[in-house]
Chain A
Amino acid sequence: MTQPDAVMKDAQLLWDYQLMSHSPGRVPSPSAWAVTTWAWPT
């Protein structure tokens, strides 16, 4: 079911926040390493 644009815009904010590994720079976290450019913590 298609959702209104406003709903999807808010959903995108929730998605970006909850996605830690490859979200674009949001909410710095010790676990925020991108899978595609994996950097093992030292």
Chain B
Amino acid sequence: MTAELYWQGMAPLIVFTGATSRTTRERMPRGEAEHYRERAIELGVPSDAILVEPRARNTGENIRFSRALLEEHGVPVSSVPLVSKPYEERRAYATARKLWPDVEFVNASGPMTLADYIDSIGDARLVVDMLVGALQRLLIYPAQGFVISQEVPQDVRDAYERLCAQGVTSRLVPDAA
């Protein structure tokens, strides 16, 4: 997706950001950012159009460390296509707006349905757990100063509460559960 946006001329420079998480540690042992860089180069993106930020371990660090890296390289930034996993678009956006308010962000992710995404992960329960965990963070992180506040429709809140009540809680922030 990121390489595709590069070839469409949406961004002159790519920053891949991220160490590993528990879901990517085995598949990407050299770190998410490095694996993405290697893949982009395989797809023909020139290496001098790529910066790698290999330390971030959460969305806030993705933004802060990437911003610092771009500043370090003297790159002026006014707008950013923000590429993430589909269900993390809203949190990525909310985090970026909070931590880098003078830049315009537009979300992007590989166009896929929930069913497609479950097929790609191979574990429906894990995906539902991750969806619930991601929504919880959107609900609690504004008060902690991690993200901007966004309206969450009541039907979405109700769905979240029902899933929590059914024990879909493995990816919740423990202290706030």
Contacts and interface: CB of A to CB of B under 8 A. Distances in A.
Contact of B90 (A3, A12, A18): A18
Q: Which one of A2, A12, A20 has the greatest number of beta carbons of chain B within 10 Å?
A: A20
A23 to B, nearest CB: 9
A18 B159 contact: no
Interface stretch (B34-42, B49-57, B68-76, B120-128): B120-128
A3 B124 contact: yes
Contacts of A15: 86-87, 114, 117, 131
Interface in A2-41: 2-3, 6-15, 17-22, 26-27, 29, 31-33, 35-36, 38, 40-41
B108 A21 contact: yes
B101 interface: no
B156 interface: yes
Interface residues of A, number: 30
Contacts of A38: 8, 10
Contact size class for B? Answer: 35 or more
B143 interface: no
Given A14-B134, A18-B138, 20 more contacts: A1-B123, A1-B124, A7-B128, A7-B163, A7-B166, A10-B159, A13-B159, A15-B117, A17-B90, A19-B89, A20-B89, A21-B89, A21-B108, A27-B151, A27-B153, A29-B150, A33-B106, A35-B109, A38-B8, A38-B10
7 contacts: A11-B128, A11-B131, A18-B88, A19-B109, A27-B150, A40-B10, A41-B106
Interface of A: 1-3, 6-15, 17-22, 26-27, 29, 31-33, 35-36, 38, 40-41
